[in-house]
Amino acid sequence: MPSWLKTSLKILAGMVLLLVLLLVGATLYITFNKARVLKMVNQQLDKSVDGTLIIGDMKPNFFKGLPDISLSLKNVLVRDKNFDRHKHTLLDAKDFDISVNTAALFRGAIDINHIEITNATIDLFTDSTGYSNTSVFKKDNKQVTNNKSESGSSTRLKKFTLKSVNFTIDNRKAHKLFNFAVNDLKGNMSYPDTGWHANFHLDVIAKSMAFNSLRGSFIKDKQLVGDFVAGYNENSGKINVKSTPLNIGNDPFNISAVFETAKDPANFFIHVAADQILWRSASALLAPNITLVLNRFNLSKPIAVTANISGSFGVSGDPLLYVTAKTKGNTLTMPGSTIENCNFNGTFTNNYVKGKGLGDENSIIKLMGLSGTYNHLPFTIDTGSIVNLTKPIATGNFKSVFPIADLNYFFEDNVAKFSNGWADINLNYRADIVDYKINKPRIQGTIHLKEADINYFPRNLMFKKTSCSLNFVGDDLIMSNIRLQSGRSIVTMNGRVNNFLNLYYNAPEKILLTWQIRSPQLYLGEFLGFLSARKSAPPAKARRVNSGNIVDQLSTVLERGKAQMHLEVANVHYKKFLATNAHADLLSTDNGVIIKTISVKHAGGSLRMNGRVTQGKNLNNFILNTTVSNVNMREFFYAFDNFGMKDFTYENLKGYLSAKTNITGGITNAGSLVPRSINGTLDLNLKDAALLNFKPITGVGKFAFPFRDLKNIMIPSLNARFDLRGDKIIINPMELNSSVINMDVAGVYGLTNGTDIALDIPLRNPEKDANITDKEELKKRRFRGIVVHIRAYEENGKMKVGLNNKRK
């Protein structure tokens, strides 16, 4: 062996032996001088406390912490001088191990390199006045560190370990409560020129992390495991902390934080980020008041989340929160609905309007680029917001383009069924949120329907190739470019509802929809659904989602609202009836139609009417006041199916009719007059008329005038008044002057039975007076000669004609 190696080994062995002797000596020194060393430790620690410090016992551990000497302190107790008042012990450690510098110990100084606290409770308490039990530590440490007779290492800690430690920060003044059950906390510290640097491993359970104890705790009862890097800068007074990463529960987070200790009280800034976390896992980390709201919603797939939390440890109330969330292709469930293929970039802050405080009332949720499919309807909302979580208000711009048949999933056969065509919606909305559902939205914007087929169930109406534009302007609804086609009927419409948004939810019965309606041809038979009472919708399918308040209210509005219609129709068809140049003003109500005025051209003349139709379950009652001017009688009676008469038809008439009626009656849902339902009065005037083959007259003619042509009675003029009483027509006394016979007529004509008519018939032939033009002379001659008094009546279902011996 080379001599230099032997020499080196001897030196090394001597150094090891010297070290062992030093350690043994130090251990023996502490063992035989326990009281003195304990006093030195107490004196060293006492320099940093202003209160009570009790160390129950102290033992050296030879092999622990080599080459340092480890002192094991038992039952260490630290209390401030006001403990008797607040009863919060700052430190109660069953085991408190200190690793000290061996060389410094022989110099009569304590240099602490490592502290290990086990089975302990640390309670940092601040009462409602701001007093803290941390005042036990002296604030003027410069005097200690500047004392040249002491080692500066006493203010520096190189290693630390905490196990089974309950750590609490309880600030009653600021309403903050942080409580952690520390399973394991290990770290190393170094001291560059500007402060200190630390690396540590953390394993704790967060019993409470309440930035506002009145609201509750964040990450309550969650386990936190991770490695941290921390540093302190003496110049700025800031502590920077960063995790790499931190597991909270089963989810990994990247955490960074800044604590401004130079300020009193200290400020904090915490940044939390998770690339993939489930909605419910994220909501469980927040305060109960926020969790309660968020748990009403859910996203099926993980989302990316960040959160910034900042505030002051000495200020009460909520910290400043700013949260972001991103998702794509997710499924969002919320009260009453589900959104498929959901995408958004979201933010939340509780400082919406700066200067108005931090809290639910000043909170806002923003969803940028929100898109998805709601009940088969695709939509986008460029920016949606929910302001004020206490009384939330939702706003946004809603856009959607979709096949109109998709509306069937939304209405679920409750109001109408749609097919063909497209819908284009662009609406700005503002709505309250009640029980986490959109309630009574107020909207601005447009809805366009194109080439749609609509089956409107309540009125059993079918519209083809329907197009319309709905414009919400201010509180009003303006409808334009509406085209409806039902069978052969084509209608174009423009409408308006003033104060629509105010009345829609609060007073739908006050809604008045004003229509301007035009049509080249209208077949009334295709709109008979308006005659019948509103029908119940077909049984709804099992609801997959709640259709929402707005749909239910739409049905109510359609049922209770009123419509004022101004119509201009070129041609109106109804069965045999044809009218041209029709004008009408109608008002539809929840139980019928008020006819303000209707005017049409018909049968060479004109008709005007007003009245009302009241809907019933199977029968609709009407009241009509009608003025007929110079219409062709044959065409008129043909068009109206002889007004329900069978023995007196259009084939018995010729000439021109003018009349006024005031009648009531009934009409079926199919649009037919109810037999024997008409009551009222009829005043008529005939010009250039003829009575053709009217059996009651021809029957009399066979008996009294066998040689006169009673089958074609020419009537230059006739004025008459009839009272209509169901199946009876009361003929008020009238004078009939004709080419064949003159007569006075009065009595009852029965549509089914009960006919009893009195006729006074002068036998004088009117042809003898054809050349007389003097009306007074004609009147004198009218009843010259023999006058026959005849009675035409019904008996046992047969018509009988005889002399009227009982005539008065």
Is it the case that residue 625 has pLDDT exceeding 50?
A: yes
Q: Return d(Cα 469, Cα 423) in angstroms, integer.
A: 10
Q: Return d(Cα 250, Cα 4) in angstroms, integer.
A: 60
Q: Return d(Cα 166, Cα 751) in angstroms, integer.
A: 104
Per-residue pLDDT tens for 211-226? 778 778 888 888 999 9
Do the beta carbons of residue 561 and residue 555 sit within 8 Å? no
Do the beta carbons of residue 401 and residue 427 sit within 8 Å? no
Give the pair of three-digit tokens for residue 728. 């009876």
- DSSP code, position 685: E
Do the beta carbons of residue 51 and residue 78 sit within 8 Å? yes
Q: Return d(Cα 557, Cα 569) in angstroms, integer.
A: 27
Residue 14: what pLDDT?
43
Is it the case that residue 22 has pLDDT exceeding 60?
A: no
Per-residue pLDDT tens for 260-294? 988 877 899 999 999 999 988 888 887 787 788 77
CB atoms within 10 A of CB 267: 18
Highest mean pLDDT among 417-421, 509-513, 519-523, 618-622: 519-523
Per-residue pLDDT tens for 762-797? 888 887 777 777 878 777 777 788 888 888 888 888
Q: What pTM was estimated for this model as a whole?
A: 0.66
- By C-alpha distance, which of 677, 643, 641, 675 is closest to 659? 643
- By C-alpha distance, which of 58, 162, 74, 63 is closest to 110? 58
Averaged pLDDT for residues 467-485:
87
Residue 184: what pLDDT?
93
Helix (H) or strand (E) holding 478: strand 476-486
DSSP notation for 344-378? EEEEEES-SSTTS-SSGGG-EEEEEEEEEEETTEE
Residue 15: what pLDDT?
43
Q: At what angle do helices 34-46 and 3-32 cross, to 10 degrees?
A: 80
